[in-house]
Structure 1
């Protein structure tokens, strides 16, 4: 018998939702590319939609903190297609 504490189960549910959301995004991305929409247009639109939703649900201050954290991750190279580890 599997004994999961409430928070463990909640974490698993969130992880599963994130996986499914990623699959939805990948499908939508592929559809957009297939329809001739450039990747940079898809990316900018996705980011604008995401930021709008985050501001609506969490407020501007919290989203600005998130964007600062994302900026640091970009600066550290986390999102590069090919990363070099030094």
Structure 2
């Protein structure tokens, strides 16, 4: 039998961690911008740092699979700043 309550709790914990991580990233981003670092530099270094850590944790093949998924999401417009959710 699957522990549904445990799975739901774990999902809630992961969602909370993602929210806190987003807040940390937003704060670091704002600090960088206020220090005069261009958005393009902040974005590229954030992506490079994330990819390096993901490769360390999961290996290149898994990261390549993730990158293909991200590519599809980008093509579908998921990351457009003007996108509307229906």
The alignment's TM-score, normalised by the length of structure 1, stands at 0.90
What does residue 34 of structure 2 align with? 34
Deviation at 1:28, TM superposition (A): 0.1
1:12-64: CA deviations, max 9, x gaps? 11110000000000000000000000000000000000000001111111100
Gapped runs of 5+ residues in structure 2? none
The alignment's TM-score, normalised by the length of structure 2, stands at 0.90
Q: Does 1:81 align with 2:77?
A: no
Q: Does 1:63 align with 2:63?
A: yes
What does residue 49 of structure 1 align with? 49
Structure 2 distance, partners of 1:28, 1:84, is: 26
Across the two proteins, how many residue pairs are aligned to each other?
A: 82
Report the 3-state secondary structure (helix = DSSP H, G, I; strand = E; otherwise coil) of the residue aligned with 1:5: helix
Gapped runs of 5+ residues in structure 1? none
TM superposition outliers: structure 1 runs of 4+ over 6 Å: none
